């Protein structure tokens, strides 16, 4: 039995446009073409080939891959090694997509949290929780910390579990500063130049800074004054938590950046 292209499309559940495209690619060639009107006709034997193409396309094979399979294979056992390769490709892609999903979920969660959060602008004393983190220590201007944030998120691959922050020694050398950029994680993460460790719980004095980073020194002054006025003993580094800063895509408005500065005390 021979079918015109419209009938063949109905039988195989392929669009006429797809059939014409497959013809151009020599993937599914009509049995004959009427020389007078140009109508394409398909033999009944081509139905099984059309269905193979449909199945392989649904399995994420490209048209070029499908063409190579049809040219070199005639039985399931001949194509099984190609199927195994495609399965491995899909598993790798799923893993990458899950990592992307984790990053997107974290971004959405952070933005929702930032939108709903009410910020206290006075100094307070509070207890911090133990944190598992990954970190990168660098030397250079404090503004360089942004260069390493992306590396931490990439290494975490969806295992991030909180706001990124920096640690600075209480006696930091401003002529040759050193900082450590940290990202809380759900479980151990490994990577070149990445350190995984646990930061113990502690007691801190804390202050929310709202505004650009180049004015954050004013907030540090308030913390130092508070420490001195209340005769508190500093026992550890400063922690600078970036609650809301430059976005993943856009820099945002520096006047709306939100950071929390913490000073460890006895």
Residue 69 scores a pLDDT above 80: yes
Q: What is the pLDDT of residues 176-221, one digit of tens each?
A: 788 999 999 999 998 889 999 999 999 999 999 999 988 999 999 9
Q: Minimal CA–CA distance to 179: which of 132, 141, 235?
A: 141
Residue 157: the pLDDT is 80
The fraction of the chain above a pLDDT of 70, given in percent, is 94
CA distance 191 to 113: 29
Residue 66: the pLDDT is 94
Average pLDDT, the chain: 89
The fraction of the chain above a pLDDT of 90, given in percent, is 60
CA-to-CA separations, 264 to 42, 121, 202, 226, in angstroms, rounded = 79, 18, 7, 13
Residue 174 scores a pLDDT above 80: no
Residue 53 scores a pLDDT above 60: yes
Query: 117-265 has which CATH code?
Result: 3.20.80.10
Confidence of residue 244 (pLDDT cuts 50, 70, 90): confident
Confidence of residue 19 (pLDDT cuts 50, 70, 90): very high
Would you state the structure tokens that stand for residue 104, as one six-digit string?
Answer: 């997107």
Q: Minimal CA–CA distance to 236: which of 172, 192, 191?
A: 172
Report the sign of the C-alpha dihedral through residues 226, 228, 232, 235, in that order. positive
Mean pLDDT to the nearest integer, 1-7: 94
Residue 6: the pLDDT is 94
Q: Are 155 and 191 in contact (CB under 8 A)?
A: yes
Q: What is the pLDDT of residues 84-131, one digit of tens each?
A: 999 999 999 998 888 888 778 777 776 666 555 567 778 999 999 999
CA distance 238 to 172: 10
CA distance 175 to 249: 32
pTM of the model: 0.63
Selecting from 3.40.30.10, 1.10.1660.10, 3.40.50.1100, 2.40.30.10, what CATH number does the domain 2-72 have? 1.10.1660.10
CA distance 71 to 90: 23
Task: Delimit the domains of the chain by residue range.
Answer: 2-72, 117-265
């Amino acid at each position: 039995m021979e079918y015109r292209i419209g009938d063949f499309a109905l039988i195989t559940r392929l669009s006429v446009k797809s059939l014409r495209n497959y013809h151009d690619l020599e993937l599914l060639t009509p049995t004959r073409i009427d020389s007078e009107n140009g109508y394409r006709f398909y033999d009944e034997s081509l139905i099984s080939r059309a269905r193979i193409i449909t199945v392989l396309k649904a399995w994420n094979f490209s048209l070029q891959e499908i063409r190579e399979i049809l040219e070199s294979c005639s039985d399931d056992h001949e194509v099984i090694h190609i199927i195994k390769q495609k399965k491995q490709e899909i598993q790798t892609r799923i893993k990458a997509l899950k990592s992307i999903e984790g990053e997107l979920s974290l971004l959405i969660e952070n933005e929702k949290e930032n939108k709903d959060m009410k910020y206290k602008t006075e100094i307070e004393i509070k207890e911090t929780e133990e944190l598992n983190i990954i970190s990168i220590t660098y030397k250079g201007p404090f503004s360089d910390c942004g260069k390493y944030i992306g590396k931490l998120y990439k290494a975490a691959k969806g295992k991030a579990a909180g706001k990124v922050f920096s640690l600075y020694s209480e006696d930091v050398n401003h002529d040759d500063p050193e900082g450590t950029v940290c990202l809380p994680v759900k479980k151990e993460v490994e990577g070149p130049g990445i350190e995984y460790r646990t930061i113990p719980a502690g007691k801190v004095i804390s202050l929310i800074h709202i505004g650009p980073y180049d004015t954050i020194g004013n907030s540090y002054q308030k913390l130092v004054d508070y420490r001195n006025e209340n005769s508190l003993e500093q026992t550890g580094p400063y922690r600078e938590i970036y609650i809301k800063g430059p976005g993943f895509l856009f820099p945002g408005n520096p006047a709306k950046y939100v950071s929390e500065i913490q000073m460890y005390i006895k």
